[in-house]
Amino acid sequence: MTGRAPTPTHCPYCALQCAMTVAAAPEGVPEIAGRDFPTNGGALCRKGWSAAKLLDSPERVVRPLMRGADGRLRPADWDTALDAVADRARAVRRDHGADAVAVFGSGGLTNEKAYQLGKFARLALGTSRIDYNGRFCMSSAAAAGNRAFGLDRGLPFPLADLAGAGAVLLLGSNVAETMPPFLRHLEGVRGAGGLLVVDPRRSATARLTSDGGGLHLQPTPGTDLQLLLGLAHVVLAEGLADEEYLAARTTGRDAVARSAAPWWPERVQAATGVPARLVRDAAHRLAAAARAAAAGGPRVYILTGRGVEQHENGTDTTTAAINLALLLGLPGTAAGGYGTLTGQGNGQGGREHGQKSDQLPGYRKITDPADRAHVAAAWGVDEGVIPGPGVPATELLHSLGLPGGPRMLMVHGANVAVSAPDAGRVVDGLRRLDFLVVCDFFLSETAAEADVVLPVLQWAEEEGTMTNLEGRILRRRRAVDPPEGARSELWILAELARRLDAPGRFPADPRAVFAELREASRGGLADYSGVSYEALDGGAAVYWPCPATGPDGAPSGADLPPDAAHAGLPSLLGTPRLFLGRFAHPDGRARLIAVRAGSPSGAPNEPGFLTLLTGRLMEHYQSGAQTRRVPELLAAQPEPRVELHPSTALALGIAQGDLVSVSSLRGRAVGRATLSADIRADSVFMPFHFGGSGSANLLTRALTDPISSMPAFKNTPILMAPLGPGASMAAGSTADRPADPFPGRSPGHGLPDLSAAVPR
- Strands 435-440, 408-412: pairing is parallel
Q: List, for residues 504-517, the tens digit of each pLDDT value.
A: 999 999 999 999 99
**From CA 196, how far away is CA 213, in angstroms rounded?**
9
Q: Which domains does the chain have, with CATH numbers?
A: 7-54 (2.20.25), 65-133+347-509 (3.40.50.740), 139-341 (3.40.228.10), 522-578 (no CATH), 610-756 (2.40.40.20)
Q: What is the mean pLDDT of residues 117-136?
A: 96
Write down the pLDDT at residue 740: 34
Write down the pLDDT at residue 604: 55
Helix/strand/coil (H, E, C) string of 14-80?
A: CCCCCEEEEECCCCCCCEEEECCCCCCCCCCCHHHHCHHHHCCCCCCCCCCEEECCCCEEEECCHHH
The answer, as to whether pTM is greater than 0.85, is yes
Q: List, for residues 55-88, the tens digit of each pLDDT value.
A: 989 999 999 999 999 999 999 999 999 999 999 9
What's the gap between Cα 79 and its chain centre?
Answer: 34
**From CA 389, how far away is CA 748, in angstroms rounded?**
43
**From CA 710, how far away is CA 68, in angstroms rounded?**
37
Q: Following DSSP, what letter does each residue of 619-684 receive, concatenated? A: T--TTSTTGGGSHHHHHHS-S-EEEE-HHHHHHHT--TT-EEEEE-SS-EEEEEEEE-TTB-TTEE
Q: List, for residues 277-313, the tens digit of each pLDDT value.
A: 999 999 999 999 999 999 999 999 999 998 899 899 9
Contacts of 316 (CB under 8 A, 6+ apart): 144, 225, 595, 596, 707
Q: Above 60 in pLDDT, residue 756?
A: no
**Confidence class for position 730, pLDDT limits 50, 70, 90:** low
Write down the pLDDT at residue 704: 92
**Confidence class for position 343, pLDDT limits 50, 70, 90:** confident
Q: In the chain, what percentage of residues exceed pLDDT 70?
A: 92
Contacts of 663 (CB under 8 A, 6+ apart): 669, 699, 718, 719, 720, 721
Helix (H, G, I), strand (E, B) or coil at 705: coil
Instruction: Identify the weakest region by mean pLDDT among 427-431, 571-575, 737-741.
Output: 737-741
